[in-house]
Structures are given as structure tokens and as C-alpha cells.
Structure 1
């Protein structure tokens, strides 16, 4: 190639503005440096592009012909860069999140209307998945998990309210089988068991006075869906371990009764997380700022 991009761009600026001084000011260089660059361009091309006098600058016939071809191309490039800058500054496009179902229910769902009103040009694509996935490998921009499940190379931001847990059962179940007083009493109770996507069965977590207890429960019902477990508990099938917010309406109307309240572990938080080494687009930045506020 006989000419580089910068020298051609310099020629277009000078030819369109009919002034070395104006073009130099816009490019942040001196007029003499710009004149030298155009001179070298003319030498490489073997043709004079600009007529110069002490008072004016104008394209030669060859320069006018070249300008006619180059000007639209440089205008397209300028528009493309402006669009890229707008994309960086204004949140828009597609934002893919991978979150467990409880996070979708308890953190995201209450905020979706406000998010939509604030960022109508962002398509927020939420995939609910209780399995722990590699968000980079699966093509997600960010994910949401409890803190202990996060990878070390992720940036993490606590989001949403504190998440509390509860153990509860129907009044009828407790009347028939009694109220457990300690976590160890679970061994003699029908416990509604939760199976993770990995196949592992959730161990019920308890804590009091610094003592942590993880109980491998017994039960003839094993499900992978917390709402189904809650419904089974409501119907008297056994004790369930669930999110306190899930059980709250049923506790309020007396259909479920909390037990072992003094043994429940401290509340946890969900975290929004994303790769630390990746450029953060405007849409993800908007989500981070939105959840912080």
C-alpha cells in the first residue's frame, strides 16, 4: 500500500477545510508537521494532491478525484466510531444472566419493572438454573450465586436483601409427630429432601452458640423443586427446610409453623459475579450500578 490511513485522513481534513491550520488544530498537530505529512503522501503516490499558496489551499484535479472517493469512506468510519462510543456510553443490546431460581424470585423479580423502565434498550435475558455453571464457557455476561460457590477469578457484588432460612411444617404434622427441639431430632422425623442438579442431597444446616450442625436427613420424598417441597409440607407430608420468604405467606396464615428458630444459621446474600479480566460493557455496568443502588 502506497499510503497509510493517517496520511489519507490528514489529506481529507486539509482538502475539506481548505486550510492546514484548521486541520492541524483539529488533529492536535502543528501546521508544519501536517504539511510535511501531506508532502510525503504526494511523494509516495507520485502525484500532487493540493495547490498551496500563502493564502489558500485547494485540491488539484487528482486531489479532488481522490477526495471524492475518500470522503464518504471516512464519513462511514466516523459514523461507525460514533456508534461504538454511543454503545459504550448508553446501555443497550443483549445482557445474559445465569441465576438460580431462588435468586430470580427473591432478588431479580421485584426489580424487573424498575429495570425495564430505566433501561428499555437492554434485553435482559435471564436463564434460571440451579446447577453451578461456568458462565464464561456458557456465554453468559454474569451470574448470581451464594458467596461460597463463586470462583476465585470473579468480581462479586452482594445484591438483594439478606436471605434467611426456616424449617417448618403444617400444624397437623406437628400435632401428629411432635415438635423437634434440636437438629438431631430430625432423625425421627419425615423430612422433605431437596436434590441438587448434581444429584447430591442437601444437608440441613444449623448453627447456635458457635456450634454448626449439618444434618443428613431421612425422608421418603426427594424433590428438586422448592415450591413443590413447600406445597408438600403445607399438606402435612413432613418438615421442610426452605427460604423464609418462600414460607412467609403460609406462616402468616397459619398453614405452616416454624420450628428450631433458635438453631437457624445467619442470613446469607446472593452475589452478582462476572469475570475480572473482561471489558465491562455498558449494559453490565448499568446492571451493577442499578443493583448497588
Structure 2
């Protein structure tokens, strides 16, 4: 009986990471039918079902998850070994997989990604912008990106840019017949544009003033899971939105949106690239971290 190949295991890990045959096939550069056939062949060789398939998604079975946990470190060590050999020849090679959100990916694409790819043309950068807060090690990522206040304690964090502000905004038209909220609790008397997190939960708006923290489960008839759409909804007078200041800055500058509860919206730690502290850093990740460090402003 044929044995599972390295390509089979890499393909299985990719399918499990993307939770989609289509996305995994795109990442691997092969057809969806060929990838599906390879996975069925792998399951037949091992005599075990590794993936649960539905018409909408795919996810590892319990046995599949156990296999992922065993092969993940082995595949990463193999990538590291190959990258070290390439690095010894004066070039950085390999694949760098980063789990992030759409907004963070957009930020990287503005400056960091073009510079990185230009400096390291032999590196394949795989940005997975699904927004889920995943275990980057378990899911086969080299690093992840999330807000500094949410970093796992056992991870090393490298800042990307400076602090962020989340602000409440509304259109002047929405406020024509309504008094702006003076306190976060006043939002309960307003229409708010609520946010659905990738986990499926609705986000509770968080405010702080003079050390006092307040979280409000705001009311509203509209819930969205996309920041640009939330800004658009606020522009159309559908209610108050709570978004990153950078996402609404152009509309604020033009006077199409105004701030409310501004003194309850202090800066918070911004985005961080994070990765495990207790494992060897692959050469592509080291190069990416070095570039981020060079891009940070120095002390005044």
C-alpha cells in the first residue's frame, strides 16, 4: 500500500487551516478536484476519516485534529531547516503564514508588504485575513496579528504602527432631532449600528474615562461584521457606529460624520505581530520582524 507523502500532509494541513477546499487549492496552486481526490486518497491510505465535509465548509475530525497536532511541529521544523540552508547562502527563502484581520491586512498592504516582497523575492507571504482569533501554532501559522490588549501571554509581540482609537460617530443628519449622548449609558436611547465579531458574538462597546471602564451592549436594528460597511451605515444616518478612528477619518475631515462621546474614547494599544517565544524563529519571520522594527519611529 502506498504511503502518505509529504505533499499529502502539507495539503491536509492547508485544507484544515483554510477550512475550505477552494481556498486551500488556490493556496497550493492546484485544482479543487485534484486536492479533494488527494485528501480522499490520504484517508484511504490511513484507514481513517480526517475531514468532515459539508456543502459549505470542511473541518478536521477528532483524528484529523490529532494528526495536525503531531505533524504541525514536524512540518515547521522542516521549513525551518530548509530556510536555514537558504539563509546560509545569503538569501531568505520559504513561506511566511500570518493570521490577521481584513483591516490589519489592509494596513500591511499599504507599506510593509510591498517593501518586504521587494527585499525578499524568494519568500511567499500567505496572509489569511479571516479575522478569527485562532491558536496560530495549532493552525500552522508562523505569526498572527491582533490588538495589543488581546495578546496571549506566552507570545512575543512586535508593534505595527502606534496606538489606536475606537470612536463613536454619527452623521449630522442623524443628530438633527436627537441630543448627542453625554454618557455611554445614553447610547441605550439611540439607534446603534452593532458589530458581529468573527466568533458570532455581538461586540459590547467599550469606553473609559479617568480610569472608569464602561461596556455597553448597545441597542440597534442593524448588525454588521465589516468596519467599512459600519462607516457607510453611519453616513446614511442609520445610527451611531463604533469604529477605528482611521476608518472614519476621511468622513470626519469632510464633515460627513461627527464624533460623539469623544472624551470616553482614549487610545488603546495598537496592532501587534505576535509569535511563539519558545521556538526557533524561521528566517522569513525574522526578516519580517526586522522590517517592522526598522519601520517603527525612534525615540524623540
- 8 Å CA contact 1:164, 1:266 repeated in 2: yes
In structure 2, what is the equivalent of residue 106 of structure 1? 107
Distance in structure 2 (CA, Å) of the matches to 1:209 and 1:284: 39
1:172 positional shift? 0.3
Unaligned residue ranges in structure 1 (runs of 5+): 1-80
1:85 Cα deviation from its structure 2 partner: 3.2
Residue 271 and residue 108 in structure 1: after superposition, are their counterparts in 2 closer, same or farther (change >3 A)?
Answer: farther
TM-score, structure 2 normalization = 0.67
Separation in 1, partners of 2:107, 2:99 = 15
Q: What do the CA deviations read for 1:53-102 (whole angstroms, capped 9, x no partner)? A: xxxxxxxxxxxxxxxxxxxxxxxxxxxx9995333552222111001122
Using the size of structure 1 for normalisation, the TM-score is 0.68
The residue number in structure 2 matching 1:174 is 175
Mapped partners of 1:131, 1:241: distance in 2:
20
Q: Corresponding residue for 2:237? A: 236
Q: How does 1:1-293 map to 2 (within 5 A)?
A: 84-88=84-88, 89-293=90-294
SS of residue in 2 equivalent to 1:171: coil
Contact 1:162 1:269 (8 Å CA) reproduced: yes
**Are the counterparts in 2 of residues 208 and 265 from structure 1 also a CA contact under 8 Å?**
yes
Distance in 1 (alpha carbons) for counterparts of 2:121 and 2:220: 47
Q: Which deviates the most, 198-207 or 239-248?
A: 198-207
Count of residues in Structure 1 that have an aligned counterpart in Structure 2:
213
* Alpha-carbon distance in structure 2 between the residues aligned to 1:260 and 1:171: 15
Report the CA distance between 1:105 and its aligned residue: 2.2
Rounded to whole Å, the distance in 2 between the matches of 1:234 and 1:206 is 22
SS class of match (1:162): coil
Classify 1:83/1:248 alpha carbon distance in 2 versus 1 (closer, same or farther; 3 Å): closer
Stretches of structure 2 that go unaligned for 5 or more consecutive residues are 1-80, 295-300
2:173 match: secondary structure: helix
- Quick check: 1:107–1:161 contact (8 Å CA) kept in 2? no
SS of the residue corresponding to residue 275 of structure 2 reads strand
Query: Which secondary structure state, in structure 1, belongs to the residue aligned with residue 163 of structure 2?
Result: strand
Structure 1 vs Structure 2 CA RMSD = 1.9
| Aligned-partner Cα distance in 2 for 1:154–1:96 | 16
Closer, same or farther: CA 101–278 of 1 in aligned 2, 3 Å: same
State whether residues 99 and 144 of structure 1, in contact with CA within 8 Å, keep that contact through their aligned partners in structure 2: yes
Once the two structures are superposed, what CA deviation does each residue of 1:80-135 show, in whole Å capped at 9, x if it has no partner? Answer: x9995333552222111001122212345332222222222211110102211111
Cα pair 1:90 1:282 within 8 Å, conserved = no
